[in-house]
Chain A
């Protein structure tokens, strides 16, 4: 990705059980100018890290080492309004209607472009500026996008 406009640096927690995917994602995020604060493959670790590190953004897979617990992780992490949660999963069907408080979902297998766009969007949202690039290719937003707060009950 040669000509990515560097946005504000995000502190990112990666919740993913496949080590290779996590490693490559780490390199990509690094290229885009962000900081990985942690990688967790287990829902317990993910929630603990979220509490201790308070990342700006958490990228959460749904299937983790201890089963399809990514939704619980998303709900726990998004309870803190300082953290934005985005699902990264091959199994979007498991996401509940309220998205467990997450902003949206990046479908696997994703392209580097999709990830870059999504990060630019999140960075723009958090800093209150219009997102760089503007396109949402690759990121599907939750019906009522909120930056971390739990969705209001229907």
Chain B
């Protein structure tokens, strides 16, 4: 962007503009609040040959202290060598420079100098002047530094807050595991209490009642053990659960006589359904297995569960003696229990004659959450 200047007579003519009187030009620059200097590269060591009052005010020097000296006199410890090198290279190649460099006043204080340096060429094309304007960016610099400090401080605070939250989360998770383990242990204690008492009770109604209760607690225990075992504490898989609990059922059977078939879809159910479902499945399956086939009667019990519309349908069917044919229903309490649980699950239950045998069909609505199979 070097302008071409020709010197003639009274003034300087800048290419492409009107003739400007030297006096006017000089007066304008002298009076400008922008610090300015002119350096002469044709003299040894490119000295400052002119400086305006604003420059003297900025640097704290007198005119006779700066004229004749190279402007490197303003540099000091904080002056970035990389910027200086860049400046030298550009000027050596005849290019203009725009940079920020720490300079020092006469009293030793530093300021951030935002400067532009323009080479001015004569008619023959060689550089005859460097014209430089400066500006004190210290406040701007101070502002930026303050902003950076504020940012760093904020980041530190966020880091501390995050660490605190993480610690709190770890503590809460540990507490959750602790509570879960206590519950499981307590279920084991309850089960043990029941079984111990059953052992000490002579065969009869009391013993059977205790044993039956122990088994119901066992079903609840199975349900609870399956919860929280994998990552998701809010859901459980019906198929896995049924497999676990039916295994217990089949273990108590004479497999040659009674067959239990199960077809359970892998439905994800909310944890709140685990306990009631466990009780319900236990009652119906145990009832079918134990009471549908008195004496040496052989038979088959089938259990199916699958999604149906917006809910789930459960069917338990046996080919045994049927509802009517049974002696005063030994599972009376069990049937009440099932009906109460179905009501709790807001479902419907239908008992019917499967000729032969009994068919129980239960439909339960499922919440439309993430119940994906």
A79 to chain B, nearest CB (A): 26
Q: Whole-angstrom distance between the alpha carbons of A125 and B107 in the complex?
A: 91
Chain B: CB-nearest residue to A113: B251
B87 at the interface (CB under 8 A from A): no
Name the distance in Å between B24's Cβ and chain A's nearest Cβ.
87
Contact B189 A18 (CB under 8 A): yes
The one of B199, B224, B248, B252 in contact with A109, judged by C-beta atoms closer than 8 angstroms, is B224
User: Does A137 reach chain B (CB closer than 8 Å)?
Assistant: yes
Contact B192 A111 (CB under 8 A): no
Residue in A111, A112, A113 whose Cβ sees the most chain B Cβ within 10 Å: A111
Q: Is B336 an interface residue (CB 8 A)?
A: no
Stretch of A20-28, A33-41, A47-55, A96-104 that contacts chain B: A20-28
**Residues on B with beta carbons closer than 8 Å to the beta carbon of A20:** 189, 192-193, 196
Contact of A21 among B188, B199, B244, B254 (CB under 8 A): B188
Contact of A90 among B185, B191, B195 (CB under 8 A): B185
By a CB distance below 8 angstroms, the chain B residues around A144 are none
The smallest C-beta distance from A13 to any residue of chain B, in angstroms, reads: 18
Does B103 touch A at the CB level, under 8 Å? no
Q: How far is the CA of A137 from the CA of B240 in the complex (A)?
A: 12
Contacts A93-B177, A108-B185 given: A113-B247 contact, CB under 8 Å?
yes
* B187 close to A (CB within 8 Å): yes
User: Knowing A20-B192, A27-B196 touch, does A109 contact B247 (C-beta < 8 A)?
Assistant: no
Does A107 contact B229, Cβ atoms closer than 8 Å? yes
CB contact between B185 and one of A18, A23, A112 (< 8 Å): that residue: A18
- Residues B196 and A23 in contact, CB atoms below 8 Å apart: yes
In the complex, how many residues of chain B place their beta carbon closer than 8 angstroms to a beta carbon of chain A?
Answer: 28
Q: How far apart are the CA atoms of A72 and B31 in the complex, in Å?
A: 88
CA distance A89 to B181 in the complex (A): 8
> How far apart are B29's CB and chain A's nearest CB, in angstroms?
79
Interface residue ranges of A77-115 to B (CB < 8 Å): 89-91, 93, 107-113
Question: A-facing mask of B190-219, CB < 8 A → 1, else 0?
Answer: 011101100100000000000000000010
Contact yes or no, A27 B184, CB < 8 A: no
Distance, CA A64 to CA B222, complexed state (A): 23
Q: Are B248 and A24 in contact (CB under 8 A)?
A: no
Highest count of chain B CB atoms <10 Å: which of A18, A63, A108: A108
Q: Name B208-262 residues within 8 Å CB distance of A.
A: 218, 221-222, 224-225, 229, 244, 247-248, 251-252, 254
The distance from the CB of B255 to the nearest CB of chain A, in whole angstroms, is 10
Instruction: Report the bound CA distance from A27 to B185 in whole Å.
Output: 18
Q: Is B177 within 8 A of A21, CB to CB?
A: no
Given contacts A18-B188, A21-B188, A21-B189, contact A109 B221 (CB under 8 A): yes
State in angstroms the CA–CA spacing of A108 and B189 once bound together: 10
Number of A-B contacts (CB under 8 A): 69
Quote the shortest CB–CB distance from B268 to chain A (angstroms).
21
Q: Name the CB-closest residue of A to B178.
A: A91
Complex Cα distance, B183 from A3, in Å, reads 31
A137 to B222 alpha-carbon distance, docked (Å): 12
Q: Which of B181, B224, B251 contacts A91 (CB 8 A)?
A: B181
Task: Please tell me if the beta carbons of A108 and B188 are within 8 angstroms of each other in the complex.
Answer: yes
Tell me the complex Cα distance, A93–B180, Å.
Answer: 11
Q: How far is the CA of A28 from the CA of B188 in the complex (A)?
A: 13
Whether B221 pairs with A111 at a CB distance below 8 angstroms is yes
A-contacting residues, B23-67, CB 8 Å: none
148-201 of chain B: CB within 8 A of chain A: 177, 180-185, 187-189, 191-193, 195-196, 199
Within the complex, what minimum Cβ distance (angstroms) separates B45 from chain A?
71
In the bound complex, residues from chain A placing their C-beta under 8 Å from that of B229 are 107
Q: Point out the residues of chain A lying under 8 angstroms from B182, CB to CB.
A: 90
Closest to B224 in A: A109
Contact check: which of A23, A63, A93 meets B192 at CB < 8 Å?
A: A23
CB distance from A39 to the nearest CB of B (A): 13
Question: Are A90 and B251 in touch, CB under 8 angstroms?
Answer: no
Residues of B within 8 A of A137 (CB): 244, 247
Could you jot down 28 A-B contacts, CB within 8 Å?
Answer: A3-B254, A18-B185, A18-B189, A18-B192, A20-B196, A21-B192, A23-B196, A24-B191, A24-B193, A28-B195, A90-B180, A90-B181, A90-B184, A90-B185, A91-B177, A93-B177, A107-B229, A108-B185, A108-B225, A109-B187, A109-B188, A109-B191, A109-B218, A109-B221, A109-B224, A110-B225, A111-B221, A113-B248
The 10 closest A-B pairs by CB, nearest first: A24-B192, A90-B184, A109-B221, A91-B181, A109-B188, A90-B181, A109-B187, A113-B251, A20-B192, A90-B185
B-binding residues in A (CB < 8 A):
2-3, 18, 20-21, 23-25, 27-28, 63, 89-91, 93, 107-113, 137
Given contacts A27-B199, A109-B218, 11 further A-B contacts (CB under 8 A): A20-B189, A20-B192, A20-B196, A21-B185, A24-B191, A90-B181, A90-B188, A91-B177, A109-B184, A109-B224, A110-B188
